[in-house]
Amino acid sequence: MELPKLNFPAIRLKARRASSGRTEVFDAVRGRWLVLTPEEWVRRHVVGYMLGECGFLAQQIIEEYPVNINGMSQRADIVAVDNCARPMVVVECKEPNVRIDQAVLDQVVRYNSVLRCRYVVITNGIESYSYQMTEEGKYCPLDHFPHSAEL
């Protein structure tokens, strides 16, 4: 599988070939091997960026964070918590060929209606958009990815 270069800094991945023939990568945050899909390629880069460039600690990042919406169990791709374990940033990752549009923003806003994070981010690794939620519940675009110092 040929994976595209993303608009995040390059990362080092520990990879192996599974008995199924699929490529797996090690997720150091969760401590387990995952199948390398195009979306996982993006998620690994986003987590690497959050750790290496945005000042987050591994213990602040939770992947596949459970979110209950109208009695249905769903999962946010990445949630960063503050020092009191309150969700502060929710990131929705899509594979690189998925268009980042209003439907993707609506999806992360649905998650955030439960999580109440200050920041939401949507990305396909090529395009990324960050927003800050105001006290009135509106989402204002940011010109940067949220950093841990902003929490």
pLDDT in tens, the chain (151 residues): 789 999 999 999 999 999 999 999 999 999 999 999 999 999 999 999 999 999 999 999 999 999 999 999 999 999 999 999 999 999 999 999 999 999 999 999 999 999 999 999 999 999 999 999 999 999 999 999 999 999 8
pLDDT attached to residue 2: 83
Bridge partners (DSSP) of residue 91 are: 78, 121
What does the block give as tokens for 76?
A: 């946010």
Domains (ranges, CATH) in the chain? 15-146 (3.90.1570.30)
3-class secondary structure, 114: helix
Residue 51: per-residue pLDDT: 97
With a CB cutoff of 8 Å and minimum separation 6, the contacts of 19 are none
Nearest to 75 by CA among 25, 30, 135: 30
- d(CA 108, CA 42) in angstroms, rounded, equals 16
| Whether the Cβ atoms of residue 72 and residue 125 lie closer than 8 Å to each other | no
Q: Are 112 and 126 in contact (CB under 8 A)?
A: no
Letter for the amino acid at 18?
A
